[in-house]
Structure 1
Amino acid sequence: MRGVSPVLEVPFTATGDIDPDSFRRVVRYVLATGVSSMMFPGFASEFYKLAEDERRTLTAVLLAETGPRADVAAIVAVQDHATRLAVARAREVIAAGADLINLLPPHFLSPSRRVLVDHVRAVLDAVAPTPVVLQYAPTETGTSLDCTTVAEIAARHPNLRLVKVECSPPGRFIAELAALDPPLPSIEGYAGVQLPDAIRRGAVGTQPGCSFTEIYVEIWRRFSEGDEVGGEELHRRLLPYISYWMLDTELIIAAEKHISARRGMIATDFCRAPARELDREERRMIDRFLIDFADLLPDLSDR
């Protein structure tokens, strides 16, 4: 898992039902951008608004598309609060064909550090040797972990292979993990707001939303090929938009789905309530975004 690894959005019909055919289109679009992995479901997928049968249906669509391909990895997320349920879900999706597990530690009602560690270890034990990405998103969850704790878990569980760092700013935590012996690789999230700094500090990948994957792929390509000036310049063009949208999780979900609908990737930009309604100025901002990045974002409606 290296480079850009988008988190898939969930298309809904105008009446709020999941749209599996449109979701398949989203998966195929992301694959066509040249990424080597993708994740479902995450915050960008509105996972907390999906019923169990809906989640299974969409996971099956993802794995049907990625399963025959040796060049791409499907990362399936486990966000259950109860350890028993998290273990069961992790085993279920691995049996269905997931290549990696993304584990979000429990956060409802502020569980203790010991409980968090026990939960993470239980899932790691249950799925070994399948590799696991530990998601660290303190802003969204209020859950705090330090580098020493993560290192102790990784020392006992070698299938903890990556940490998705979504603290703000993420750079110091990424650098601390990279300095461990052995190093623990990180991927950066949070829409790539601090992506250049994360790359310089050792991040091996980024995990944004999926509605404008081409921009992240191009930023990553430039940095990977030594064009740091070019990578910084493209990121500076993107930053005014993502820094505003990431002020609120529901805002960036609404913005990305509106972008996807405007590009022709999904039929509607419907978000399940409670959701953030884009106002007039926010929609005009997306108009400017699509003009500013027309060189990288083709119309997908005829594909």
Structure 2
Amino acid sequence: MTMIASKSRTPVEASALIRGVSPVLEVPFTDDGEVAFDDFRRVVGYVLDTGVSSVMFPGFAGEFYKLSEEERRQLTEVLIKEAASYPDVAVIAAVQDHATRLAVHRARWSVDAGADAINLLPPHLLAPSAAAIEAHLRAVLAAVPDTAVVLQYAPTETGTSLDPQGLAGLVRDHPNLALVKVESSPPGPYIAELGRLDPPILAVEGYAGVQLPDAFRRGCVGTQPGCSFTELYQEIWGRFAAGDLDGGDRLHARLLPYISYWMLDTERIIATEKMISFRRGLIGSPYCRPPRHELDGEDLAMIDRFLAEFDDLLPALD
């Protein structure tokens, strides 16, 4: 296994890069379902060339739950190697293991491989107790004390509830807990509550940016959508960050009918983003490993309308 030297960023330095649009990378497959490593390199290069300062891998958008351990390790190493050419980009490596021992091992391995930060999804299979979840989080945070950790709060996908006051206690004991990725619905009130804590906790929002305007106004410092139309998210965020809230709202309002439908279930938006990447010429196949959402004629027509509407921001990539 090839190990790559870490950029050795402190938690503060790494968390400062997790701002604005922080895409979650997809995993391209061949039509036979094999990992398409060259296409993945192309995805990485495309995303980093849009000017983002961080990327996350692998998340739900990257079908992490359909990858073998060896595939996951190889893809993570490819990402870290490719990102080494972009010194101002932070690589966030995800840790979703249910067993605390495995989560600790993956977090340490990711840091040793060169990841700048860890995205930590709390354990959720078979409804562990609040005390068990807290112990798990503390163990992983303690295992990588010199690495920024982003805690992923995804109650829709996991059924896990995280009390903001409890998170404040974690930050006091583990200051490397740098941010929370909030994917509650809506995320805004939770983001605002995190900001009122002592110490306050920064937040990014996910869920394809469906509630991005409200989340921005309530204090989120970034968004973590999928990666197939990163330029569009960059334009929306850029308008908000520049103080053009009306302009950001208008562009988001055009995007909202699409992402609100696609986010009705996770497999739907995964299949949709793969097809968008395929139609743009970024990847060679839109294949998703089954079980998957099968795009029908209306789904494909909607993708065509989307690409036509935003063709000024989403050029062909082939």
- TM value normalised by structure 1: 0.99
Which residue of the other structure, out of 237, 249, 268, is the alignment partner of 2:285? 268
Instruction: State which of 189, 194, 197 in structure 2 corresponds to 1:180.
Output: 197
Match of 1:137 in 2: 154
In the alignment, is residue 243 of structure 1 matched against residue 260 of structure 2?
yes
CA distance in 2, matches of 1:184, 1:29: 31
CA–CA distance in structure 2, aligned partners of residues 235 and 202 of structure 1: 17
SS of the equivalent of 2:181 reads: strand
Identify the residue that residue 47 of structure 1 maps to in structure 2: 64
Native 8 Å contact 1:67 1:97 kept in 2: no
Q: How does 1:274-289 map to 2 (within 5 A)?
A: 274-289=291-306
2:120 matches 1:112: no
Runs of 5+ consecutive residues of structure 1 not aligned to the other structure: none
Match of 1:81 among 98, 108, 112: 98
How many pairs align? 301
Distance 1:120 1:83 in 2: 8
Identity %: 68
Tell me the CA shift for residue 68 of structure 1: 3.9
Q: Which one of 144, 169, 174 corresponds to residue 152 of structure 1?
A: 169
Task: Please tell me the residue identity of whatever aligns with 1:190.
Answer: Y
Paired amino acid for 1:109: L
SS in 1 for 2:315: coil
Structure 2: which 5+ runs fail to align?
A: 1-17
The answer to whether the Cα contact below 8 Å between 1:41 and 1:76 also exists between their aligned partners in 2 is yes
What residue number does 1:59 align with?
76
Aligned counterparts of 1:295 and 1:229: Cα–Cα separation in 2:
20
Kindly state the Cα deviation for residue 70 of structure 1 after the two structures are TM-superposed.
2.0
2:119 alignment partner, SS class: strand
SS in 1 for 2:225: coil
Report the Cα offset of residue 66 of structure 1: 1.3
Q: Distance in 1 between matches of 2:207 and 2:48?
A: 21
**Aligned match of 2:231 in 214, 225, 234?**
214
What aligned pairs does 1:249-260 form with structure 2 within 5 A after superposition? 249-260=266-277
Does the 8 Å CA contact 2:187/2:215 hold for their aligned counterparts?
yes
Distance in 2, matches of 1:41 and 1:236, equals 28
Which of 152, 170, 179 aligns to 1:162? It is: 179
Displacement after TM superposition at 1:146 (Å): 1.2
Q: CA deviation at 1:265?
A: 0.4
State the 1:65 CA deviation: 1.0
* Pairwise CA RMSD: 0.6
SS at match of 1:229: helix
2-structure distance, mates of 1:47, 1:20? 15
Q: CA deviation at 1:69?
A: 2.9
Query: 2: distance between equivalents of 1:127 and 1:67?
Result: 21
1:35 and 2:71 are equivalent in the alignment: no
Q: What SS does the corresponding residue of 1:164 show, helix, strand or coil?
A: strand
Give the partner amino acid of 2:219. Answer: G
Deviation at 1:67, TM superposition (A): 2.3
Please report how far the alpha carbon of residue 129 of structure 1 lies from its aligned counterpart in structure 2 after TM superposition: 1.4
Taking the aligned partners of 1:287 and 1:298, their CA distance within structure 2 comes to 13
Q: Report what 1:20 is aligned to.
A: 37
Q: Secondary structure at the match of 1:38?
A: strand
Tell me if the contact between 2:168 and 2:199 (Cα under 8 Å) persists in the aligned partners. no
User: In the alignment, which residue of structure 1 is the partner of 2:208?
Assistant: 191
Are the counterparts in 1 of residues 168 and 200 from structure 2 also a CA contact under 8 Å? Answer: no
The match for 2:217 is 200
Q: TM-score scaled to structure 2, two decimals?
A: 0.94
**Which runs of structure 1 show a deviation greater than 3 angstroms over 4 or more consecutive aligned residues?**
none
Q: Distance in 1 between matches of 2:85 and 2:207?
A: 30
2:146 and 2:131 map into 1 onto residues whose CA distance is: 23
> Is 1:292 aligned to residue 292 of structure 2?
no
Note if 1:99 corresponds to 2:116.
yes
Which residue is equivalent to 2:4? Answer: none
Q: For 2:141, what is the secondary structure of its paired residue?
A: helix
User: Is the partner of 1:296 in helix, strand or coil?
Assistant: coil
Matched to 2:144, the amino acid is V
Shift of 1:181: 2.2
Structure 2 match to 1:125? 142
Given residue 140 of structure 1, which amino acid in structure 2 is its aligned partner? E
